[in-house]
Structure 1
């Protein structure tokens, strides 16, 4: 392995740090920096290009580095500077090694070696010899693996994450085949970073942990430190900043131990980012200042520019806009010095934001327009979308509503084009949409300010469940190609209300920037509400959310949580533990549910149907997905379920798809031969948290009695205990028209697709049927009832709830009945039995659920016993 020292020092360091500067570059680069000091104009230009190539290599821009060096080489040859020519040729050779281009690497290195010997440059000669030896000894398989690795890095850099993952996976197979542990660790680290960027944090951590184990096994302290830093990045994406800080501190200790100043500076920057997310700005600025000092000490101008920009963001968040602008200007100067157009555009955009906070809209617009021009020039579509979004925001704040509307509509077109490039990968689309949701909200505000309420409804609908709608479009298509769904026009939304013969209520939570104690903070501002009647009539109303945080020191999210807490609702997330709650308090629960009723229902109460049998379908957003709408109480204490028949849906367009699924399946009377019923499986052992000892889930005798009772009603044979294996259930699911699963449910609020239903393990599985596994099925069930805890929960995103209900609808089910908390055993058995008795008399599922709730309420008045279940999709 000693003959591969150069590769390990340079190639793998680069690979493990896709988004970070490279530390400990070999003497080649140090030598080139020393040589770039003479004053002659042409030589100075060549030396600048050589240095620029070094800087580009440090941030993984290998192709750009090669272009810089090729320009430098032309000048060095023109002025007959043999030392500069030699340095550049060897630099090119090493870069070609990164790219897996062995032939070009050897050609360039051989020329560089001749010049190194001629000029008696021993350091350069040594590097050229080692590089050549490595290049000539590389097997074709290793060359291919290195090429794939470099290809993946380039794809990651331009946000082609799916392609990058494929390249890395192919490289990993080869590295393992040829037993290259260093290449394996590098590829695992890259996979981890890319999975962080696409929102699959469980895989990100898994791959980084594997990379960490290898770096420790081969005693590679430098890359051990880098991998620990990457684990910190993964936990930062998860929002677990304390864990991120823990990993960053371990990485920092190694960087200091081995005197890796460049990575030390990067980790200090990451620590600043983590503390910024925690709002601890004294530590933020302390870490950024330390990082800045290191960047200046080692003359890392690129790193200096990055940290200056971060300091600007920190001071902007502190409300010190003058200081923020000062740092942004310094960051901008460095970006221009290196002709780094991407960083220049980012700095200009930040300056625009700072000036908008100062109320200097003319300057803000000017800077945002410059940022936009650069993004378009360098064909940075993501940057273009962000610049357009920011420019639209400034137009809005300055009262230029027409310009704001035009700009924001263009921004949305750009952002949606980015989603289209992700192909069929649903998880990537969900992840990227989280970053885009603000633009849809801003456009809604602009339209409402112009009294364009119907157009605002179209944008509200367009700004939710997009990935879900695209997934359903693809699933319902007969062609095996990506299908772009129709944009939700007003006529389509009205048509959906008519098809459902229901009143649709769509909510949109609007946020604004407010100056609080001298700092600019984002807070809830208003709740937009649209009501579409079965006739197609559309009415807009709104509720003021500012008093929640201005007067009551709470938020809508907290209000939803406390209302659930006071009825004694608990939840058991997949990641372990019971979500903390208050002791049940009937009077406080009533107060909270009445407060929610005042915000959500009172503004539109006169628009809701008068007949209690007429359906109301609520389209929630964010924390409103956790609201038990049936339990909301009016001023007289009357529950909403007593007045209305209630359903929910992630969006109006999803309703259109569930309607099409229902047409595909048709309607049949509920019969035993078409029914799959599961009750109280032999519970699996599951680890409540990563690293903990698995424990068996507790049996549910009430669920068993429930399944037996329903089976008698429907004349079906239930799967009880050992019979309810995953293999048996999955085999029978595609043929079943009615599915009832009475067991434990577990939700994962970080990785929604890990949410699952507990079944009997068969030895080859863990006994958990996950949302991810259901997503891959093709079902023909008219109704699936998940009579278990928290089956309506999961990861809350701008695309809705990522969990079991979404997967079931995607798999072809038009009606899904799920729960919003850990349901009590005995009352749930009563409610479900009543539900099926009602369903046998009347095929209207929403009516059957309403009557079952009213019956259960009489025997168990606390809403925790009867209000947890929500019907998503079709009522009939």
Structure 2
């Protein structure tokens, strides 16, 4: 049940309980050997504290364990016991990981890594790399997780550490499982299991079987999931691993929950709970209690669900498990909401949000960490919106909708804005999006703001609880500051009658006009704008997104409308949405988009910093058709050279003549030259290939000419580190508006450019065709020379291109993000 962190909590319990880095912890927890020249009494005291920490950790007394290891660390440093110091640092990292403080976990593991390399402790180095991989996996940075596990795997093979090799393979399986590549996950897990069985490590075999059960569970193969968990259970009982036995029982409960057999799920969870209490595993006890609350919620027994969740909450607070506390508060809030106690639900959910935001606060200024962790937190904001709407608190719900999107982006922009302010000595705190601020932004933008929020709910389908799209909330803020809320957009027919979802509808609407996500231009697909709604999904999207609020939108086509999408709606070509008469939205309105309303306030501040100048040659950087780099289509495949784009070169030359400047084309358009000129340019136009990364986002890039020391790609990650002063950046390339879709918006090129200081970015939503794009861009700049309103310039360019190339694939790909003027 995605809407409630209940079944998701159960799934996390399933995966994390069985996916601890196999035997990663035992090496960390080995008491270091006495060094001959170390004072025996101090060494003995440090070792005692070290072992005490292990015992405290094993019964989930994480706070106490931290204190013991910190004291041990002080002594090890005092007596210059580098091995003990390193092991203490590693253990502290593991403890902070369990407490959900991943930034500190990584910090301590990095310190340990430095020591292991200094003293040439190859096994310790491998173990630390593995633990870093697990920490990054928990943050959702799966690329780094895989990178660290691969490094560990190489070391284990080098030193012939068969146990470590098996662990590394298993942990690679866990990382690929998190990516949703279950076939590869199972492949790695099976390789790891073979080694573990070869060396007769029964504990490792037990854990590997559990991991395989998790993979098959994720694939929906519940019979195999049960089979593997039962095998794990047999071994756990044979070797008297009570913790493993409890985990296997809890995971079986999770599988039966997914099968809708709630009685059996409760039976297994009760057995798991009994073991956790017996061995004083407080974390496991809390998880079992929460899973029991899960089952009783599904049965509609809200009183019992609340009882179990409250017990779990007490434990989470006792062991300082902030992540668990946030989950419990989320679950309790939803259960109180379903039971009709709206006031208590609101109170608890607001407390849950405070806990979640304190977790993000621990991540400091690390943007990628905040984006990753926010993915698991976003649902609490959605549930609170429902609770507030049920109480007719529509404006408060809008505040929460804003607070639940683009928070990492807002914090990043605020931080960078603060550092550029004259005389600023400390980082300015981020304002919470109160309704007065949102109204002020609408007035400041002199635009109509439209914010969407997709709401999910639990449905009983053939005796099982499932989560599906339920409603679409829409808020409209007029330039006067007047706020209107519309909630009666019923999304249930999408999956009940039309066999689709919002995300699939967006994809089919794009496909229907020939829009494709690819690094190569050149699309020619027939399109019928007069097709019935059943076949023309642009009309269906208009019906859902625009019809309910059409009377609230401005009548003057020159007045701006700024859409604030969510999730898959970021990929909607708003300009091409069609009303019942076949008229496109761009024909009626001037359109922009933004990840959130608060981001608009920050791009406005960026624009004030930069100021406005007429567009002219000396301030422009124009790139067209570089000498293309070699790019691997997929990881592990042979790199292939991207095809040249002669149309993009002609486009760059034509725009350069218009603006009286010289373009960088072919061999001149190197990465180093472009990066050197970017900070000085006020207007930037890049006509080349764009490549998007929908897994990490920051690997999305712009193709340029390789210059020896680089691969020819200017990535979103590299742009993020730049300080730009451009008023406008136009990415006239394929898919430059795409990337990784997250609760924080689209992680990709547009986000990085705005973060680097650019207030207005023009990007594409699909692979754009050469000739129509060249026409559209030339028209855009001609319009911009006459009128500094970028949104108006884009609208007129679209209307002109539409006359010559009617298919929306030829003119509707581009969207303006940020400031219009």
TM-score by length of 2: 0.90
**1:60–1:100 distance in 2 versus 1, CA, 3 Å:** farther
Give the conservation status (yes or no) of the 8 Å contact 2:527–2:807: no
Q: Which residue of 2 aligns with 1:630?
A: 575
Q: Which residue of 1 aligns with 2:697?
A: 752
Most deviating of 395-404 and 187-196: 187-196
Q: How does 1:766-805 map to 2 (within 5 A)?
A: 766-805=711-750
**1:554–1:96 distance in 2 versus 1, CA, 3 Å:** closer
2:230 counterpart of 1:229: no
Aligned with 2:698: secondary structure?
Answer: helix
Give the conservation status (yes or no) of the 8 Å contact 2:330–2:348: yes
2:204 counterpart of 1:263: yes
**Aligned-pair CA distance for 1:245:** 1.2
Please give the alpha-carbon distance, in whole angstroms, between the structure 2 residues aligned to 1:581 and 1:148.
59
Give the conservation status (yes or no) of the 8 Å contact 2:669–2:704: yes
Instruction: Say which of 274, 278, 282 aligns to 1:341.
Output: 282
Please give the alpha-carbon distance, in whole angstroms, between the structure 1 residues aligned to 2:77 and 2:425.
40
Please give the alpha-carbon distance, in whole angstroms, between the structure 2 residues aligned to 1:334 and 1:148.
30
Q: How does 1:396-415 map to 2 (within 5 A)?
A: 396-415=337-356
Please give the alpha-carbon distance, in whole angstroms, between the structure 2 residues aligned to 1:337 and 1:756.
54
**1:585–1:748 distance in 2 versus 1, CA, 3 Å:** farther
Q: Which residue of 2 aligns with 1:852?
A: 797
**1:580–1:719 distance in 2 versus 1, CA, 3 Å:** closer
Q: How does 1:357-756 map to 2 (within 5 A)?
A: 357-478=298-419, 479=424, 481-542=426-487, 543-572=489-518, 587=531, 591-756=536-701
Please give the alpha-carbon distance, in whole angstroms, between the structure 2 residues aligned to 1:361 and 1:323.
18
Please give the alpha-carbon distance, in whole angstroms, between the structure 1 residues aligned to 2:518 and 2:351.
43
Q: Which residue of 2 aligns with 1:765?
A: 710
Structure 2: gaps spanning 5 or more residues: 1-17, 31-49
Q: Which residue of 2 aligns with 1:285?
A: 226
Give the conservation status (yes or no) of the 8 Å contact 2:62–2:319: no
**Aligned-pair CA distance for 1:160:** 2.5
Please give the alpha-carbon distance, in whole angstroms, between the structure 1 residues aligned to 2:127 and 2:581.
65
**Aligned-pair CA distance for 1:53:** 8.8
Give the conservation status (yes or no) of the 8 Å contact 1:824–1:865: yes
Give the conservation status (yes or no) of the 8 Å contact 2:333–2:344: yes
CA shift digits 1:363-403 (9 cap, x unpaired): 11111111122222222222211111100000011111111
Please give the alpha-carbon distance, in whole angstroms, between the structure 1 residues aligned to 2:792 and 2:592.
10
Most deviating of 369-378 and 172-181: 172-181
CA shift digits 1:683-732 (9 cap, x unpaired): 11111112211111111101100110100111111111111111111111
Q: Which residue of 1 aligns with 2:244?
A: 303
Give the conservation status (yes or no) of the 8 Å contact 1:305–1:331: yes
**Aligned-pair CA distance for 1:56:** 6.4
Please give the alpha-carbon distance, in whole angstroms, between the structure 2 residues aligned to 1:665 and 1:169.
39
**Aligned-pair CA distance for 1:423:** 0.5
Q: How does 1:63-142 map to 2 (within 5 A)?
A: 140-142=81-83
Between the two structures, name the one with larger relative contact order (CA 8 Å, sep ≥ 6): 2
**Aligned-pair CA distance for 1:146:** 3.4
Q: Which residue of 1 aligns with 2:291?
A: 350
**1:149–1:578 distance in 2 versus 1, CA, 3 Å:** farther
**Aligned-pair CA distance for 1:501:** 0.6
**1:404–1:639 distance in 2 versus 1, CA, 3 Å:** same
**Aligned-pair CA distance for 1:158:** 2.3
Most deviating of 507-516 and 347-356: 347-356
Aligned with 1:303: secondary structure?
Answer: helix
Most deviating of 57-66 and 659-668: 57-66
**1:673–1:581 distance in 2 versus 1, CA, 3 Å:** closer
**1:473–1:382 distance in 2 versus 1, CA, 3 Å:** same
**1:272–1:484 distance in 2 versus 1, CA, 3 Å:** farther
Q: Which residue of 2 aligns with 1:19?
A: 20
**1:197–1:578 distance in 2 versus 1, CA, 3 Å:** farther
Please give the alpha-carbon distance, in whole angstroms, between the structure 1 residues aligned to 2:352 and 2:523.
41
CA shift digits 1:405-429 (9 cap, x unpaired): 1111111111111111111011111
Give the conservation status (yes or no) of the 8 Å contact 1:832–1:852: yes
Give the conservation status (yes or no) of the 8 Å contact 1:565–1:584: no
**1:57–1:368 distance in 2 versus 1, CA, 3 Å:** closer
Give the conservation status (yes or no) of the 8 Å contact 1:21–1:59: no
Please give the alpha-carbon distance, in whole angstroms, between the structure 2 residues aligned to 1:460 and 1:381.
23
**Aligned-pair CA distance for 1:634:** 0.5
Give the conservation status (yes or no) of the 8 Å contact 1:24–1:262: no
**Aligned-pair CA distance for 1:283:** 1.4
Please give the alpha-carbon distance, in whole angstroms, between the structure 2 residues aligned to 1:768 and 1:23.
37
Give the conservation status (yes or no) of the 8 Å contact 1:753–1:802: yes
**1:242–1:849 distance in 2 versus 1, CA, 3 Å:** same
Q: Which residue of 2 aligns with 1:172?
A: 113
Q: How does 1:207-222 map to 2 (within 5 A)?
A: 207-222=148-163
Give the conservation status (yes or no) of the 8 Å contact 1:55–1:302: no
Give the conservation status (yes or no) of the 8 Å contact 2:607–2:819: yes
Aligned with 1:410: secondary structure?
Answer: helix
Please give the alpha-carbon distance, in whole angstroms, between the structure 2 residues aligned to 1:54 and 1:418.
25
**Aligned-pair CA distance for 1:163:** 2.5
TM-score by length of 1: 0.85
**Aligned-pair CA distance for 1:342:** 2.1
**1:268–1:840 distance in 2 versus 1, CA, 3 Å:** same
Please give the alpha-carbon distance, in whole angstroms, between the structure 2 residues aligned to 1:249 and 1:583.
47
User: Aligned pair count?
Assistant: 777
**Aligned-pair CA distance for 1:443:** 0.6
Rg larger in structure:
1
**Aligned-pair CA distance for 1:141:** 4.4
Aligned with 2:582: secondary structure?
Answer: coil
